[in-house]
Structure 1
Protein backbone atom coordinates (compact mmCIF):
# COMPACT_ATOMS: atom_id res chain seq x y z
CA UNK A 1 0.00 0.00 0.00
CA UNK A 2 2.84 2.37 0.85
CA UNK A 3 4.62 1.55 -2.44
CA UNK A 4 1.46 2.31 -4.39
CA UNK A 5 1.08 5.68 -2.67
CA UNK A 6 4.78 6.42 -3.24
CA UNK A 7 4.49 5.64 -6.94
CA UNK A 8 1.40 7.86 -7.16
CA UNK A 9 3.26 10.70 -5.43
CA UNK A 10 6.21 10.29 -7.81
CA UNK A 11 3.90 10.49 -10.81
CA UNK A 12 2.36 13.69 -9.43
CA UNK A 13 5.79 15.25 -8.91
CA UNK A 14 6.83 14.30 -12.43
CA UNK A 15 3.66 15.79 -13.82
CA UNK A 16 4.20 19.01 -11.85
CA UNK A 17 7.81 19.17 -13.08
CA UNK A 18 6.63 18.98 -16.66
CA UNK A 19 4.12 21.76 -16.11
CA UNK A 20 6.75 23.94 -14.43
CA UNK A 21 9.07 23.42 -17.40
CA UNK A 22 6.29 24.42 -19.78
CA UNK A 23 5.66 27.56 -17.72
CA UNK A 24 9.35 28.47 -17.80
CA UNK A 25 9.47 28.03 -21.57
CA UNK A 26 6.35 30.18 -21.97
CA UNK A 27 7.92 32.82 -19.71
CA UNK A 28 11.12 32.93 -21.79
CA UNK A 29 9.07 33.26 -24.98
CA UNK A 30 6.99 36.06 -23.43
CA UNK A 31 10.14 37.93 -22.31
CA UNK A 32 11.66 37.64 -25.80
CA UNK A 33 8.47 38.89 -27.39
CA UNK A 34 8.23 41.77 -24.90
CA UNK A 35 11.80 42.86 -25.66
CA UNK A 36 10.99 42.76 -29.36
CA UNK A 37 7.93 44.96 -28.79
CA UNK A 38 9.96 47.42 -26.69
CA UNK A 39 12.54 47.76 -29.46
CA UNK A 40 9.81 48.18 -32.04
CA UNK A 41 8.04 50.85 -29.95
CA UNK A 42 11.30 52.74 -29.42
CA UNK A 43 11.97 52.73 -33.17
CA UNK A 44 8.43 53.87 -33.93
CA UNK A 45 8.70 56.67 -31.34
CA UNK A 46 11.84 57.95 -33.07
CA UNK A 47 10.16 57.78 -36.46
CA UNK A 48 7.05 59.58 -35.19
CA UNK A 49 9.20 62.31 -33.64
CA UNK A 50 11.02 62.74 -36.96
CA UNK A 51 7.72 62.94 -38.85
CA UNK A 52 6.43 65.43 -36.29
CA UNK A 53 9.44 67.68 -36.86
CA UNK A 54 9.07 67.62 -40.64
CA UNK A 55 5.33 68.28 -40.54
CA UNK A 56 5.96 71.17 -38.18
CA UNK A 57 8.63 72.46 -40.55
CA UNK A 58 6.16 72.32 -43.45
CA UNK A 59 3.65 74.27 -41.36
CA UNK A 60 6.25 76.93 -40.57
CA UNK A 61 7.37 77.14 -44.19
CA UNK A 62 3.77 77.93 -45.11
CA UNK A 63 3.96 80.86 -42.67
CA UNK A 64 7.23 82.36 -43.94
CA UNK A 65 5.48 85.45 -45.30
CA UNK A 66 3.34 85.93 -42.16
CA UNK A 67 3.80 88.64 -39.56
CA UNK A 68 2.10 88.60 -36.17
CA UNK A 69 1.40 92.09 -34.87
CA UNK A 70 0.72 92.41 -31.15
CA UNK A 71 -0.64 95.48 -29.41
CA UNK A 72 -2.89 97.03 -32.05
CA UNK A 73 -6.01 98.27 -30.23
CA UNK A 74 -9.37 96.91 -31.30
CA UNK A 75 -12.18 99.30 -32.28
CA UNK A 76 -15.25 99.63 -30.04
CA UNK A 77 -18.05 97.18 -30.48
CA UNK A 78 -20.19 97.91 -33.49
CA UNK A 79 -17.47 99.70 -35.46
CA UNK A 80 -15.72 98.17 -38.47
CA UNK A 81 -11.96 97.90 -38.66
CA UNK A 82 -9.83 98.47 -41.73
CA UNK A 83 -6.89 96.23 -40.86
CA UNK A 84 -5.27 96.52 -44.29
CA UNK A 85 -5.06 100.32 -44.07
CA UNK A 86 -3.77 100.19 -40.49
CA UNK A 87 -1.02 97.74 -41.37
CA UNK A 88 -0.09 99.67 -44.48
CA UNK A 89 0.40 102.80 -42.39
CA UNK A 90 2.39 100.90 -39.72
CA UNK A 91 4.69 99.12 -42.14
CA UNK A 92 5.34 102.23 -44.22
CA UNK A 93 6.34 104.07 -41.06
CA UNK A 94 8.81 101.31 -40.21
CA UNK A 95 10.26 101.47 -43.72
CA UNK A 96 10.30 105.29 -43.58
CA UNK A 97 8.07 105.61 -46.61
CA UNK A 98 4.99 107.68 -47.34
CA UNK A 99 1.83 106.43 -45.65
CA UNK A 100 -0.04 106.13 -48.95
CA UNK A 101 2.63 103.90 -50.55
CA UNK A 102 0.89 100.71 -51.72
CA UNK A 103 1.66 97.68 -49.58
CA UNK A 104 0.44 94.37 -51.00
CA UNK A 105 -1.05 92.05 -48.36
CA UNK A 106 -2.55 88.72 -49.36
CA UNK A 107 -4.72 88.66 -46.23
CA UNK A 108 -4.93 90.14 -42.76
CA UNK A 109 -7.16 89.27 -39.82
CA UNK A 110 -7.37 89.15 -36.06
CA UNK A 111 -6.49 85.99 -34.17
CA UNK A 112 -9.23 83.41 -34.60
CA UNK A 113 -10.64 83.49 -31.10
CA UNK A 114 -13.45 85.23 -29.30
CA UNK A 115 -13.01 88.87 -28.40
CA UNK A 116 -12.05 89.38 -24.77
CA UNK A 117 -13.31 91.79 -22.14
CA UNK A 118 -12.95 95.54 -22.73
CA UNK A 119 -9.97 95.72 -20.35
CA UNK A 120 -8.20 92.67 -21.77
CA UNK A 121 -5.31 92.77 -24.22
CA UNK A 122 -6.31 93.11 -27.87
CA UNK A 123 -6.13 90.10 -30.13
CA UNK A 124 -3.08 89.71 -32.34
CA UNK A 125 -3.25 90.59 -36.03
CA UNK A 126 -1.85 88.03 -38.46
CA UNK A 127 -1.08 89.17 -41.98
CA UNK A 128 0.59 87.65 -45.01
CA UNK A 129 2.86 89.90 -47.03
CA UNK A 130 2.82 89.07 -50.73
CA UNK A 131 6.57 89.52 -51.28
CA UNK A 132 8.94 87.70 -48.93
CA UNK A 133 11.73 90.26 -49.39
CA UNK A 134 9.42 93.07 -48.34
CA UNK A 135 8.34 91.13 -45.27
CA UNK A 136 12.02 90.64 -44.32
CA UNK A 137 12.64 94.37 -44.67
CA UNK A 138 9.78 95.09 -42.28
CA UNK A 139 11.04 92.58 -39.71
CA UNK A 140 14.61 93.88 -39.96
CA UNK A 141 13.43 97.45 -39.44
CA UNK A 142 11.38 96.33 -36.41
CA UNK A 143 14.36 94.54 -34.87
CA UNK A 144 16.56 97.62 -35.24
CA UNK A 145 14.11 99.78 -33.29
CA UNK A 146 14.13 99.70 -29.47
CA UNK A 147 10.34 100.08 -29.37
CA UNK A 148 7.54 100.68 -31.85
CA UNK A 149 4.94 103.31 -30.95
CA UNK A 150 1.93 103.44 -33.22
CA UNK A 151 -1.14 105.50 -32.45
CA UNK A 152 0.09 106.01 -28.85
CA UNK A 153 0.33 102.23 -28.33
CA UNK A 154 3.35 99.97 -28.05
CA UNK A 155 3.34 97.47 -30.90
CA UNK A 156 5.44 94.32 -31.30
CA UNK A 157 6.14 92.33 -34.47
CA UNK A 158 6.88 88.60 -34.47
CA UNK A 159 7.45 85.92 -37.02
CA UNK A 160 4.29 83.81 -37.17
CA UNK A 161 5.07 80.18 -36.26
CA UNK A 162 3.01 77.08 -35.64
CA UNK A 163 1.44 76.20 -32.32
CA UNK A 164 3.72 73.20 -31.78
CA UNK A 165 6.79 75.41 -32.30
CA UNK A 166 5.48 77.86 -29.72
CA UNK A 167 4.94 74.98 -27.31
CA UNK A 168 8.49 73.74 -27.82
CA UNK A 169 9.93 77.22 -27.26
CA UNK A 170 7.87 77.54 -24.10
CA UNK A 171 9.26 74.24 -22.81
CA UNK A 172 12.83 75.44 -23.52
CA UNK A 173 12.34 78.78 -21.74
CA UNK A 174 14.36 77.66 -18.67
CA UNK A 175 17.25 76.93 -21.02
CA UNK A 176 17.02 80.23 -22.91
CA UNK A 177 16.79 82.12 -19.60
CA UNK A 178 20.15 80.69 -18.58
CA UNK A 179 21.63 81.51 -21.98
CA UNK A 180 20.54 85.13 -21.69
CA UNK A 181 21.86 85.33 -18.12
CA UNK A 182 25.26 84.12 -19.37
CA UNK A 183 25.12 86.45 -22.41
CA UNK A 184 25.23 83.48 -24.80
CA UNK A 185 23.63 84.24 -28.13
CA UNK A 186 21.27 81.69 -29.62
CA UNK A 187 18.94 81.38 -32.59
CA UNK A 188 15.98 79.23 -33.55
CA UNK A 189 16.28 76.89 -36.49
CA UNK A 190 13.86 75.19 -38.87
CA UNK A 191 12.98 72.37 -38.54
CA UNK A 192 12.66 73.28 -34.90
CA UNK A 193 16.03 73.53 -33.17
CA UNK A 194 17.88 75.77 -30.73
CA UNK A 195 21.37 76.62 -32.04
CA UNK A 196 24.24 78.04 -30.00
CA UNK A 197 27.83 78.75 -30.98
CA UNK A 198 30.24 79.09 -28.08
CA UNK A 199 34.02 78.50 -27.82
CA UNK A 200 34.20 77.66 -31.53
CA UNK A 201 31.65 74.88 -31.01
CA UNK A 202 28.20 74.51 -32.49
CA UNK A 203 25.62 73.03 -30.14
CA UNK A 204 21.95 72.48 -30.80
CA UNK A 205 18.77 71.05 -29.31
CA UNK A 206 16.38 69.40 -31.74
CA UNK A 207 14.77 66.78 -29.49
CA UNK A 208 14.08 66.66 -25.74
CA UNK A 209 16.80 64.01 -25.35
CA UNK A 210 19.44 66.59 -26.43
CA UNK A 211 18.83 68.87 -23.44
CA UNK A 212 21.06 67.16 -20.78
CA UNK A 213 24.14 66.98 -23.04
CA UNK A 214 23.53 70.56 -24.23
CA UNK A 215 23.43 71.90 -20.64
CA UNK A 216 26.47 69.87 -19.61
CA UNK A 217 28.52 71.10 -22.57
CA UNK A 218 27.79 74.74 -21.67
CA UNK A 219 28.15 74.12 -17.91
CA UNK A 220 24.59 75.26 -17.23
CA UNK A 221 22.37 74.20 -14.37
CA UNK A 222 20.30 71.09 -15.08
CA UNK A 223 16.63 71.73 -15.71
CA UNK A 224 13.66 69.47 -16.30
CA UNK A 225 12.24 69.90 -19.79
CA UNK A 226 9.08 68.06 -20.77
CA UNK A 227 8.85 66.49 -24.18
CA UNK A 228 7.10 68.69 -26.74
CA UNK A 229 6.36 65.63 -28.90
CA UNK A 230 3.84 64.47 -26.32
CA UNK A 231 4.73 63.31 -22.82
CA UNK A 232 7.89 63.33 -20.77
CA UNK A 233 10.67 61.21 -22.34
CA UNK A 234 12.34 60.77 -18.93
CA UNK A 235 9.20 59.55 -17.20
CA UNK A 236 9.37 55.87 -16.18
CA UNK A 237 6.86 53.48 -17.72
CA UNK A 238 3.74 52.71 -15.71
CA UNK A 239 4.06 49.76 -13.34
CA UNK A 240 2.89 46.41 -14.59
CA UNK A 241 -0.16 44.90 -12.92
CA UNK A 242 0.80 42.63 -10.05
CA UNK A 243 -0.94 39.30 -9.66
CA UNK A 244 -2.02 38.11 -6.26
CA UNK A 245 0.19 35.30 -4.91
CA UNK A 246 -1.25 31.83 -4.84
CA UNK A 247 -2.65 30.68 -1.52
CA UNK A 248 -3.46 27.11 -0.56
CA UNK A 249 -6.93 26.61 0.83
CA UNK A 250 -7.21 24.38 3.85
CA UNK A 251 -9.53 21.45 3.43
CA UNK A 252 -11.17 19.49 6.17
CA UNK A 253 -11.77 15.99 4.82
CA UNK A 254 -13.73 14.98 7.89
CA UNK A 255 -16.38 17.69 7.46
CA UNK A 256 -19.62 16.54 9.12
CA UNK A 257 -22.71 16.07 7.03
CA UNK A 258 -25.18 18.97 7.11
CA UNK A 259 -28.27 17.08 8.16
CA UNK A 260 -30.31 20.23 8.64
CA UNK A 261 -29.89 21.25 5.02
CA UNK A 262 -30.86 17.80 3.88
CA UNK A 263 -33.87 17.79 6.14
CA UNK A 264 -35.02 21.17 4.81
CA UNK A 265 -34.61 20.00 1.25
CA UNK A 266 -36.56 16.79 1.87
CA UNK A 267 -39.36 18.75 3.49
CA UNK A 268 -39.69 21.29 0.65
CA UNK A 269 -39.01 19.16 -2.43
CA UNK A 270 -42.00 17.50 -4.05
CA UNK A 271 -42.25 13.75 -3.63
Structure 2
Protein backbone atom coordinates (compact mmCIF):
# COMPACT_ATOMS: atom_id res chain seq x y z
CA UNK A 1 0.00 0.00 0.00
CA UNK A 2 1.35 3.43 -0.94
CA UNK A 3 2.15 5.67 1.99
CA UNK A 4 0.32 8.95 2.36
CA UNK A 5 2.63 11.94 1.96
CA UNK A 6 3.24 13.75 5.27
CA UNK A 7 0.97 16.68 5.93
CA UNK A 8 2.43 20.11 6.49
CA UNK A 9 1.50 22.04 9.59
CA UNK A 10 0.42 25.67 9.42
CA UNK A 11 0.65 28.20 12.23
CA UNK A 12 -0.89 31.67 12.03
CA UNK A 13 0.78 33.91 14.61
CA UNK A 14 -0.99 37.15 15.52
CA UNK A 15 -0.99 39.71 18.27
CA UNK A 16 -3.77 38.04 20.28
CA UNK A 17 -3.84 34.40 19.18
CA UNK A 18 -1.70 31.63 17.74
CA UNK A 19 -3.68 29.20 15.57
CA UNK A 20 -2.42 25.95 14.12
CA UNK A 21 -3.60 22.85 12.27
CA UNK A 22 -2.30 20.13 9.98
CA UNK A 23 -3.22 20.93 6.39
CA UNK A 24 -4.36 18.67 3.57
CA UNK A 25 -2.37 20.22 0.72
CA UNK A 26 -4.47 18.50 -1.93
CA UNK A 27 -7.70 20.04 -0.67
CA UNK A 28 -6.27 23.25 0.76
CA UNK A 29 -8.13 22.70 4.02
CA UNK A 30 -7.51 21.68 7.60
CA UNK A 31 -6.82 17.98 8.07
CA UNK A 32 -7.90 18.22 11.72
CA UNK A 33 -9.66 20.78 13.87
CA UNK A 34 -7.66 23.96 14.36
CA UNK A 35 -6.28 24.74 17.82
CA UNK A 36 -5.96 28.30 19.14
CA UNK A 37 -3.71 29.37 22.01
CA UNK A 38 -3.56 32.91 23.37
CA UNK A 39 -0.43 34.80 22.35
CA UNK A 40 1.87 35.14 25.40
CA UNK A 41 2.78 38.52 26.83
CA UNK A 42 5.40 39.62 26.13
CA UNK A 43 5.30 37.88 22.75
CA UNK A 44 9.04 37.43 22.33
CA UNK A 45 10.22 34.87 19.73
CA UNK A 46 11.40 32.49 22.47
CA UNK A 47 8.04 32.53 24.28
CA UNK A 48 6.14 32.12 21.04
CA UNK A 49 8.41 29.22 20.10
CA UNK A 50 7.33 27.45 23.30
CA UNK A 51 3.70 27.81 22.19
CA UNK A 52 4.58 26.32 18.82
CA UNK A 53 6.09 23.30 20.56
CA UNK A 54 2.89 22.92 22.59
CA UNK A 55 0.78 23.13 19.44
CA UNK A 56 2.80 20.53 17.57
CA UNK A 57 2.66 18.10 20.52
CA UNK A 58 -1.13 18.01 20.04
CA UNK A 59 -0.70 16.60 16.51
CA UNK A 60 1.95 13.85 16.80
CA UNK A 61 0.90 12.22 13.50
CA UNK A 62 1.64 15.35 11.45
CA UNK A 63 5.33 15.03 10.61
CA UNK A 64 5.80 17.34 7.61
CA UNK A 65 7.35 20.79 7.43
CA UNK A 66 5.96 23.61 9.56
CA UNK A 67 5.01 27.01 8.15
CA UNK A 68 4.48 30.10 10.28
CA UNK A 69 2.91 33.43 9.33
CA UNK A 70 4.24 36.54 11.07
CA UNK A 71 2.85 40.10 10.90
CA UNK A 72 6.10 41.59 9.62
CA UNK A 73 8.53 41.70 6.72
CA UNK A 74 10.44 38.40 6.43
CA UNK A 75 13.59 38.01 4.33
CA UNK A 76 15.35 34.64 4.18
CA UNK A 77 13.74 33.63 7.46
CA UNK A 78 14.78 36.81 9.29
CA UNK A 79 12.04 39.16 10.54
CA UNK A 80 12.77 42.76 9.57
CA UNK A 81 9.76 44.65 10.96
CA UNK A 82 7.37 44.28 13.88
CA UNK A 83 4.54 46.80 13.81
CA UNK A 84 2.12 44.94 16.11
CA UNK A 85 4.35 42.38 17.84
CA UNK A 86 7.28 42.49 20.27
CA UNK A 87 10.27 44.44 18.94
CA UNK A 88 12.52 41.50 19.88
CA UNK A 89 11.41 39.89 16.60
CA UNK A 90 13.36 42.42 14.54
CA UNK A 91 16.58 40.84 13.28
CA UNK A 92 15.71 37.38 14.63
CA UNK A 93 16.41 34.41 12.34
CA UNK A 94 13.08 32.84 13.10
CA UNK A 95 13.50 29.93 10.67
CA UNK A 96 16.56 28.83 12.65
CA UNK A 97 15.07 29.59 16.10
CA UNK A 98 11.83 27.70 15.48
CA UNK A 99 13.56 24.79 13.74
CA UNK A 100 15.80 24.31 16.77
CA UNK A 101 12.95 24.70 19.26
CA UNK A 102 10.58 22.27 17.54
CA UNK A 103 13.03 19.82 15.98
CA UNK A 104 11.12 20.28 12.71
CA UNK A 105 11.86 22.09 9.48
CA UNK A 106 10.20 25.51 9.92
CA UNK A 107 9.73 28.29 7.36
CA UNK A 108 8.38 31.73 8.27
CA UNK A 109 6.43 33.97 5.87
CA UNK A 110 4.72 37.36 6.10
CA UNK A 111 1.08 36.87 7.12
CA UNK A 112 -0.46 38.60 4.10
CA UNK A 113 1.89 36.72 1.77
CA UNK A 114 0.77 33.42 3.29
CA UNK A 115 -2.89 34.32 2.88
CA UNK A 116 -2.26 35.44 -0.69
CA UNK A 117 -0.60 32.18 -1.62
CA UNK A 118 -3.57 30.26 -0.22
CA UNK A 119 -6.11 32.35 -2.14
CA UNK A 120 -4.22 31.87 -5.42
CA UNK A 121 -3.70 28.13 -4.99
CA UNK A 122 -7.03 27.15 -3.43
CA UNK A 123 -9.33 30.14 -3.06
CA UNK A 124 -10.83 33.07 -4.92
CA UNK A 125 -7.94 33.40 -7.41
CA UNK A 126 -7.48 29.70 -8.16
CA UNK A 127 -6.69 29.19 -11.84
CA UNK A 128 -6.03 32.86 -12.51
CA UNK A 129 -2.87 33.85 -14.36
CA UNK A 130 -0.93 37.09 -14.50
CA UNK A 131 -0.56 39.42 -11.54
CA UNK A 132 -3.00 38.91 -8.68
CA UNK A 133 -2.90 41.35 -5.75
CA UNK A 134 -4.44 40.12 -2.52
CA UNK A 135 -5.15 42.75 0.12
CA UNK A 136 -6.26 42.17 3.71
CA UNK A 137 -8.28 45.02 5.21
CA UNK A 138 -7.98 45.01 8.98
CA UNK A 139 -6.08 47.03 11.55
CA UNK A 140 -3.79 47.87 8.66
CA UNK A 141 -3.69 46.80 5.02
CA UNK A 142 -1.67 43.71 4.26
CA UNK A 143 -0.83 42.76 0.70
CA UNK A 144 0.45 39.87 -1.38
CA UNK A 145 1.52 40.03 -5.02
CA UNK A 146 1.44 36.70 -6.85
CA UNK A 147 2.46 36.47 -10.52
CA UNK A 148 1.53 33.25 -12.35
CA UNK A 149 1.47 31.48 -9.00
CA UNK A 150 4.86 32.82 -7.83
CA UNK A 151 4.95 35.04 -4.75
CA UNK A 152 6.67 38.43 -4.93
CA UNK A 153 7.24 38.75 -1.17
CA UNK A 154 6.95 41.64 1.27
CA UNK A 155 5.08 44.07 -0.97
CA UNK A 156 3.70 46.08 1.99
CA UNK A 157 1.30 48.00 -0.26
CA UNK A 158 -0.65 49.28 2.73
CA UNK A 159 2.21 51.71 3.32
CA UNK A 160 2.06 53.38 -0.06
CA UNK A 161 1.66 57.14 0.18
CA UNK A 162 -1.76 58.06 -1.20
CA UNK A 163 -2.85 61.70 -1.20
CA UNK A 164 0.02 62.52 1.14
CA UNK A 165 -0.83 59.90 3.77
CA UNK A 166 0.04 56.32 4.59
CA UNK A 167 -2.68 54.42 2.71
CA UNK A 168 -3.73 52.19 5.57
CA UNK A 169 -4.23 55.15 7.93
CA UNK A 170 -7.16 56.23 5.71
CA UNK A 171 -8.40 53.05 4.04
CA UNK A 172 -7.93 50.17 6.52
CA UNK A 173 -11.01 48.74 8.18
CA UNK A 174 -9.77 50.21 11.46
CA UNK A 175 -10.12 53.68 9.90
CA UNK A 176 -13.72 52.90 8.91
CA UNK A 177 -14.50 51.83 12.47
CA UNK A 178 -12.57 54.64 14.16
CA UNK A 179 -14.16 57.37 12.05
CA UNK A 180 -17.57 55.66 11.92
CA UNK A 181 -17.61 55.85 8.13
CA UNK A 182 -20.58 54.62 6.14
CA UNK A 183 -19.92 51.80 3.69
CA UNK A 184 -20.22 54.32 0.84
CA UNK A 185 -17.73 56.74 2.37
CA UNK A 186 -15.27 53.95 3.06
CA UNK A 187 -15.71 52.60 -0.47
CA UNK A 188 -14.76 56.04 -1.82
CA UNK A 189 -11.47 55.82 0.08
CA UNK A 190 -10.93 52.27 -1.15
CA UNK A 191 -11.58 53.46 -4.70
CA UNK A 192 -8.74 55.99 -4.34
CA UNK A 193 -6.46 53.31 -2.90
CA UNK A 194 -7.17 50.63 -5.50
CA UNK A 195 -6.93 53.14 -8.36
CA UNK A 196 -3.42 53.92 -7.13
CA UNK A 197 -2.55 50.22 -7.24
CA UNK A 198 -4.05 49.97 -10.73
CA UNK A 199 -1.85 52.79 -12.02
CA UNK A 200 1.29 51.29 -10.52
CA UNK A 201 0.83 47.59 -11.25
CA UNK A 202 -1.99 46.96 -13.76
CA UNK A 203 -3.02 43.68 -12.11
CA UNK A 204 -5.39 41.13 -13.56
CA UNK A 205 -7.33 40.76 -10.32
CA UNK A 206 -7.70 42.15 -6.80
CA UNK A 207 -8.77 39.79 -4.00
CA UNK A 208 -9.99 41.42 -0.79
CA UNK A 209 -9.54 39.56 2.47
CA UNK A 210 -9.58 40.33 6.17
CA UNK A 211 -12.51 39.84 8.52
CA UNK A 212 -14.51 42.62 6.86
CA UNK A 213 -14.56 40.65 3.60
CA UNK A 214 -17.50 38.76 5.08
CA UNK A 215 -19.42 42.01 4.46
CA UNK A 216 -18.05 42.40 0.91
CA UNK A 217 -21.54 42.84 -0.56
CA UNK A 218 -21.87 46.07 1.43
CA UNK A 219 -18.84 47.83 -0.02
CA UNK A 220 -17.10 46.05 -2.92
CA UNK A 221 -19.82 46.92 -5.49
CA UNK A 222 -19.23 50.58 -4.55
CA UNK A 223 -15.49 50.45 -5.31
CA UNK A 224 -15.21 52.16 -8.72
CA UNK A 225 -12.18 50.73 -10.52
CA UNK A 226 -11.48 49.07 -13.87
CA UNK A 227 -9.84 45.92 -12.49
CA UNK A 228 -11.94 42.98 -11.35
CA UNK A 229 -12.16 42.94 -7.55
CA UNK A 230 -13.60 40.01 -5.57
CA UNK A 231 -13.79 38.88 -1.94
CA UNK A 232 -11.43 36.25 -0.55
CA UNK A 233 -12.77 32.72 -0.19
CA UNK A 234 -10.72 31.12 2.59
CA UNK A 235 -11.36 33.79 5.24
CA UNK A 236 -9.83 32.81 8.60
CA UNK A 237 -8.33 29.61 7.17
CA UNK A 238 -6.05 31.44 4.74
CA UNK A 239 -3.15 32.09 7.11
CA UNK A 240 -2.81 28.52 8.38
CA UNK A 241 -3.29 26.99 4.92
CA UNK A 242 -0.89 29.44 3.28
CA UNK A 243 1.77 28.86 5.93
CA UNK A 244 1.61 25.11 5.44
CA UNK A 245 1.75 25.50 1.65
CA UNK A 246 4.77 27.83 1.90
CA UNK A 247 6.63 25.35 4.13
CA UNK A 248 5.79 22.38 1.89
CA UNK A 249 7.51 24.13 -1.01
CA UNK A 250 10.67 24.85 0.96
CA UNK A 251 10.02 28.43 1.95
CA UNK A 252 11.48 31.41 0.16
Settle same-fold status: TM greater than 0.5: no
Structure with the largest fraction of helix:
1
TM-score (norm 2): 0.29
Query: TM-score, length-normalised on structure 1?
Result: 0.27
Please state which structure has a larger fraction of its residues in strand. Answer: 2
